[in-house]
Amino acid sequence: MSRDVEVREFVEALAESETPVDRSVNVYRNAVRCANLIRWFSTFEDTSQSAIFVGEAPGRDGGAITGIPFVSPDVLTSANDPWGDFGCESRYELPVGQDANHRERTATRFWKHLPSYFSDLPRPLTWNIYPFWPFAVGKGGKRINRAPTKHEIAFGSEWLVRTIDMYPDAQVVAVGVKAQDTLESVGIDAPLVPHPSRGSDEKLINRLQSVAEALRT
């Protein structure tokens, strides 16, 4: 089976999947997000110098909108990455009614620092231990982000393993302790990068630089 066919079958199955709990949204019940994810996976180069960054779950202001983990509308439409993936002229799109200037702290910090250390390496892939958006209901009935539960993470592990299996040569990198623990539970020893939504820029920069240097050796 070709990689392109494998990716399409993966995304189609993901779009049809039921969420394990009611307080989760399958954001891939949307053709634009599916198309974005297919392109994101299909254009990733599987080499020994490539990285797959694995976080927790799509965020309300980022991956839950674009369909690409760690990518907000603002990042998607800004032509500031050295690989030429993003920008208004790219083949990625936003779902109808979404603001191209909408920002997310995680996505903004991740893509602010990553290109400085990875520009000479293949464009990284991003994924999560749980592929759907887990939400809680805040004040005024507004849906807000929450961490995925153990049950949701166990459900997401199937999709996590399938993703990593598609790219056997790439180095998997954990973004946050919860991601690292989950990867370890499925037999993957991954270096740790602090989650961009928390901590200092200095720690994030140091770990990104360390991962990039290791990929070059």
Give residue for tokens 């690409």.
Answer: 68
* Cα(187)–Cα(214) distance, integer angstroms: 20
For 20-66, the pLDDT digits (tens) are 999 999 999 999 999 999 999 999 999 999 999 999 999 999 999 99
* Cα(131)–Cα(147) distance, integer angstroms: 12
Sign of CA dihedral 45, 34, 119, 128: negative
pTM over 0.85: yes
Domain residue limits, the chain: 3-216
Give residue for tokens 């360390």.
Answer: 210
Instruction: Tell me which H or E stretch contains 25.
Output: strand 24-25
* Cα(87)–Cα(84) distance, integer angstroms: 8
* Cα(83)–Cα(118) distance, integer angstroms: 10
Interior angle at CA 175, CA 174 and CA 178, nearest 5:
80
Topology of domain 3-216 in CATH is Uracil-DNA Glycosylase, subunit E (3.40.470)
For 128-160, the pLDDT digits (tens) are 999 999 999 999 899 999 999 999 999 999 999
Highest mean pLDDT among 71-80, 126-135, 197-206: 126-135
* Cα(52)–Cα(215) distance, integer angstroms: 12
